[in-house]
A and B are shown apart, each in its own frame.
Chain A
Amino acid sequence: MNATFETRMDTLPQAARGSQQGAPDTSDPMIEIDHLDFYYGANHALRDISLQIPGHQVTAFIGPSGCGKSTLLRCFNRMNDLIEGTRIGNGQIRIHGIDISDPAVDTIALRRQVGMVFQKSNPFPKSIYENIAYGLQIQGVRDRRRLDEVVEKSLRGAALWDEVKDRLHTSALGLSGGQQQRVCIARAIAVEPSIILMDEPCSALDPIATAKVEELIHELKKNYTIVIVTHNMQQAGRCSDMTAFFYLGQLIEMGKTEKIFTNPVQKQTEDYISGRFG
């Protein structure tokens, strides 16, 4: 099981990425969720969720606080395993066609494929360089030249290189909030995942830093599949291709972003988007 998972994980995204050079092929779903039920102890947090997240697009999860959108996001890289008492009751999550809710799945390999950026920017109390290189170092990469390369490439990818290239070896905690969050994005892309999960990445940032991160998300979708949880409706509208609306642990509606924002099918979606509740 692990072997097939690893090999598929290793070969597929590269191949997929290669074919994506031209127009994004949206027909191939990257993440498929079938009738998923999720529990925090006795609390039934996610109810019968089924959806498909297309590759190389930005999918936004919206909904009021406590609706389960972050929980679902953390299911994709099994971060919920770290919280005691959580379990998947029913259903499947398939990434590249592999059911990752299987206990036999190697979460380490999974998390290298599915990167994550957190709500609060959380660089390690180390230098900028060490922050970016960490993901490779724990995989056993010692080659200094390779690390230098990856650090530069990742920082360029996160549109941060020009701002920090002269102080790579100073503490990442000395950067501004927006820069710290981009360090976290650079750190996530340094291990070359195929999917990046973003859990309210801009909620602690000012509008200018937010704009930079949004611009970056737009750039990143060429190479990565992005799932973003946001409370900011405008943000979902601005930077996502698909939007899913959750309410009380259930998926209410999912569709193309412009359709959800202009012509939602469900009454609840319309109410939430127009600000009548939530």
Chain B
Amino acid sequence: MPATYPDSAQLKGRDRKISEALLNKKRFRVLGLTPDDVIKYFFQGNAAVAILVLVLIMVFLLREGAGFFGQNLRNLRIYRLAGLEYVDFIKREVEAHTELTRAANALRMRQFDAYLKEGKTIEEANEALAQYDLFATAFGDTVNEVRSIASDMTEAAVAIKEKEQIYRDTLEQKAMLLRAGRSAEAEAVVASSVDFKSEVEALKAMQPAFLAANVEFASKIKAALALGGREPLQAPYMGPFNQLKKHAETYLNSFASVEAQMARWTNDQPIPWYESVTAFLFGREWLTASFWQDWYGVIPLFVGSLLVSAIALAIAVPLGVAGAIYVSEIASAAEKGIIKPYIEFISAIPSVVLGFFGVAVLGQCLRAVSQTPWLSWFPGFPMSERLNSLTAGCLLAFMAIPTIFSLAEDALNNVPRHFKEASYALGATRFQTIVRILMPASLSGIISAILLGFGRVIGETMVVLLCAGNRIAIPDFTQGIGAFFQPVHTMTGIIAQEMGEVVPGSIHYRALFMVGIVLFIIALGVNFLAQRIVKRYRISIG
């Protein structure tokens, strides 16, 4: 049968159909967009919104925070101009004395308890301590004169500072009136600027009185030290007592430098602009809403955050990584089916609930454990506070475990199966395979898991606010491990706690934003580092 070929008319018709189909002129369009375009722009728009929001947050943070440095510089300048700095020389001297008195009283308490334990009655104990009390009372009273001068000077300095504040408030009022167009009323408001030079002269006029009192003070301390006698306490407490005496000697020797500092001081030494930055970044004090002087130093908060995070990671990293190794390498399918969802469920617990648990249960438990007698050899035990960095660190560790576990497990699972098989085929044990092949091959993945866990921990707010104890102070690291049992405050906690109370636009408000920026930069840095490491890891596996 001969083949039938289409004639040329038929051919033309078919060509046209094909070309029509290919050009697809009849395709459905909305506003000139095909459905494909619409879908593309939809997803593009979503991605753009996410990026835009991030940019907006950064801009907003910077805008609110940037004004801080100017305000802080003025804050620091007034501190010097109004003579607060000058008075602080004396106040620090008085505070150091208070510190010593407190130590002396604490020592008395310990000796007193020891006497009671021996079976003495309260009266007998007091009697035995009579010699010591002579010393302690006399020592405590030595400061009275200097303290009263200090408080006079404090009042004077605060008065100067207040004058400056009133001056600025009136200026503000005037500007507001002018803005409102009530220029006649504005004229009536008179703002008189403060003449710091002469005001501070009045303050400095008190110096001779102080110097005289200081000489008296020193001689009284020497007398008090002699009152203690040779052996006012029992042997185990004589060591600390002699220590205390030594501290008192050094204290006495520091008087000369205090006086020299005061003599050198003038209120017109300029404060360079960068000091408002360094005072924030390296300031060791965060003190707000004080009648005297506000300090915005991020260090105590930063150290608090780091300390709590370090405790959390020290607990969470071994648990999370070991859990991931177990689930990915050792567990049977049934175990995997139980363990994985359980660990991942932890991240679903609201942090406020965990914080509540920490306040109600964990803090109490940890302290009870630390108070058991047979653990008293452990440095820092017993803990003095129920809520401290350890309590918060334990809970944060609990929160970081799912993050570290999941990511580390992914990293381990991403190690190609054939590495593992090759190792087993060479006669390696499971432990050798895990330690020598799997861990090195997934190390960067595990490190990035740890970094992201760190990011999770340092950004966590509710738990630390509830459980870290919220004392704004750098932990006393001279106590060694004991430093981990001290209450701290954190960067996140301070923002959550204080943001609701501050006046928008005030220096305190802006300082909190600066803390936020520091947190933001840390989180950004950690995430950036984690991503870099993950990228390198992909390359190394090849």
Known contacts A111-B424, A118-B421; is A125 also within 8 Å of B540 by CB? yes
**B114 an interface residue at 8 Å Cβ cutoff?**
no
Q: Indicate if B61 sits at the interface (CB-CB under 8 A).
A: no
Complex interface: chain B residues within 8 A of A77 (CB): 425
Residue of B nearest to A115 (CB): B425
- Please state if B427 and A108 are interface contacts (CB–CB under 8 Å): yes
Contact call A109/B441, Cβ cutoff below 8 A: no
A111 contacts which of B332, B427, B540 (Cβ < 8 Å)? B427
B436-A79 in contact (CB<8A): no
Known: A125-B441, A134-B436, A173-B542. A118 touches B422 (CB 8 A): yes
Residue in B closest to A85 when the chains form the complex, CB atoms: B333
State A120–B422 Cα separation when bound (angstroms).
11
Please measure, in the bound complex, the distance between the C-alpha atom of A79 and the C-alpha atom of B423, giving whole angstroms: 11
Q: Does B541 contact A (CB under 8 A)?
A: yes
Structural contact, B421 and A122, CB atoms closer than 8 A: yes
Name which residue of chain A comes closest to B425, CB basis: A116
- Contact in complex: B425, A84 (CB < 8 Å): no
Distance, CA A138 to CA B441, complexed state (A): 17
Is B437 a contact of A124 with CB atoms below 8 Å?
Answer: yes
Taking the complex as formed, is A139 at the interface, i.e. its CB lies under 8 A from any CB of chain B?
Answer: yes
Q: Closest Cβ of chain A: how far from B75's Cβ, in Å?
A: 56
Query: CA A120 – CA B419 in complex, angstroms?
Result: 11
A134–B423 touching, CB < 8 Å: yes
Name the interface residues of B432-463: CB closer than 8 Å to any CB of A.
432, 436-437, 440-441
Q: Cβ of A82 < 8 Å from any Cβ of B?
A: yes
Task: Contact check, A82 vs B421: say whether CB atoms are below 8 A apart.
Answer: yes
B427 touches A109 (CB 8 A): yes
- Pick from A43-51, A59-67, A184-192, A269-277 the stretch touching chain B: A184-192
Nearest A residue to B540 via CB reads A125
Which residues of chain A have C-beta atoms less than 8 A from B541's C-beta? Answer: 125
Q: Decide yes or no whether B243 CB sits under 8 A from chain A.
A: no
Establish whether residues B419 and A122, one from each chain, have CB atoms under 8 Å apart when the complex forms: yes
Q: Evaluate contact between A122 and B436: CB separation under 8 angstroms.
A: no
Report which residue of B419, B421, B429 has the largest number of chain A beta carbons within 10 angstroms of its beta carbon. B421
Kindly state whether residue A112 has any CB partner on chain B within 8 Å: yes
Please tell me if B212 contacts chain A, counting CB pairs below 8 Å.
no
Q: How far is the CA of A79 from the CA of B377 in the complex (A)?
A: 51
* Secondary structure of the B contact surface, majority rule: helix
Shortest CB distance B88–A (Å): 61
Q: A135 interface residue, CB < 8 Å from B?
A: yes
A residues contacting the other copy or chain, number (CB 8 A): 28
Most chain-A Cβ atoms within 10 A of its Cβ — which of B425, B428, B436, B437?
B425
Residues in B whose Cβ lies below 8 Å from that of A134: 423, 426, 428, 436
Complex Cα gap A110–B426 (Å): 10
- B12 part of interface (Cβ distance < 8 Å): no
A109, A110, A139 interface centre (most CB from chain B within 10 Å)? A139
**Distance between Cα atoms of A77 and B421 in the complex (Å):** 11
CA distance A109 to B332 in the complex (A): 24
- Looking at the assembled complex, report how far the CB atom of B410 sits from the nearest CB atom of chain A, in whole angstroms: 18
8 Å CB interface, B249-300 against A: none
Cβ contacts under 8 Å, B421 to chain A: 79, 82, 118, 122
Find out whether the CB atom of A138 lies under 8 angstroms from the CB atom of B540.
no
In contact, B418 and A120 (Cβ under 8 angstroms): yes
In the complex, A124 Cα to B419 Cα: how many Å? 6
> Within the assembled complex, what's the spacing in Å between the Cα atoms of A118 and B424?
12
With CB as the reference atom, state the residue of chain A lying closest to B435.
Answer: A138
Whether A138 lies near B436 (C-beta < 8 A) is yes
Q: Is the CB of A135 within 8 A of B441?
A: no
Contact partners of B333 in chain A: CB under 8 A: 84
Residues of B within 8 A of A188 (CB): 425-426
Complex Cα spacing A110 to B425, Å: 9
Q: Is B416 an interface residue (CB 8 A)?
A: yes
Give the chain B neighbours of A110 by CB distance below 8 A: 427
Interface string of A244-273 (1 = CB under 8 A from B): 000000000000000000000000000000
Q: Are A135 and B427 in contact (CB under 8 A)?
A: yes
| A188 nearest CB across to chain B (Å) | 7
Q: How far is the CB of B62 from chain A (nearest CB, A)?
A: 43
Chain A residues within 8 Å of B428, by CB: 108, 134-135, 138
Scan residues 399-425 of chain B and give those whose CB is less than 8 A from a CB of chain A.
Answer: 416, 418-425
Q: Is the CB of A115 within 8 A of B426?
A: yes
Q: How far is the CB of A274 from chain B (nearest CB, A)?
A: 34
Nearest-Cβ distance from residue A266 to partner chain B, whole angstroms: 33
A117-149: contact bitstring with B at CB < 8 Å (1 yes, 0 no)? Answer: 010101111100000001101110000000000
Instruction: Kindly identify, within residues 306 to 336 of chain B, every residue whose CB is under 8 Å from any CB belonging to chain A.
Output: 332-333
Query: What residues of B have a CB within 8 angstroms of the CB of A191 in the complex?
Result: 426-427
- Shortest A71–chain B CB gap in Å is 14
Contact A112 B427 (CB under 8 A): yes
> A135: nearest residue on chain B (CB-CB)?
B426
Q: Nearest chain-A residue to B333 (Cβ)?
A: A84
Residue of A nearest to B416 (CB): A122
A118 adjacent to B418 (CB under 8 Å): yes
Residues of chain B within 8 A of A84, CB atoms compared: 332-333
7 further A-B contacts with Cβ under 8 Å, apart from A125-B440, A134-B428, A138-B432, are A108-B428, A109-B427, A115-B426, A122-B421, A137-B436, A187-B422, A187-B426
**Which residues of B does A touch, CB under 8 Å?**
332-333, 416, 418-429, 432, 436-437, 440-441, 540-542
Q: What are 11 A-B contacts defined by CB distance under 8 Å?
A: A84-B333, A115-B425, A123-B422, A125-B440, A125-B541, A125-B542, A135-B426, A137-B436, A138-B429, A138-B432, A173-B542
- The 4 closest A-B CB pairs, nearest first, are A112-B427, A122-B418, A116-B425, A111-B427
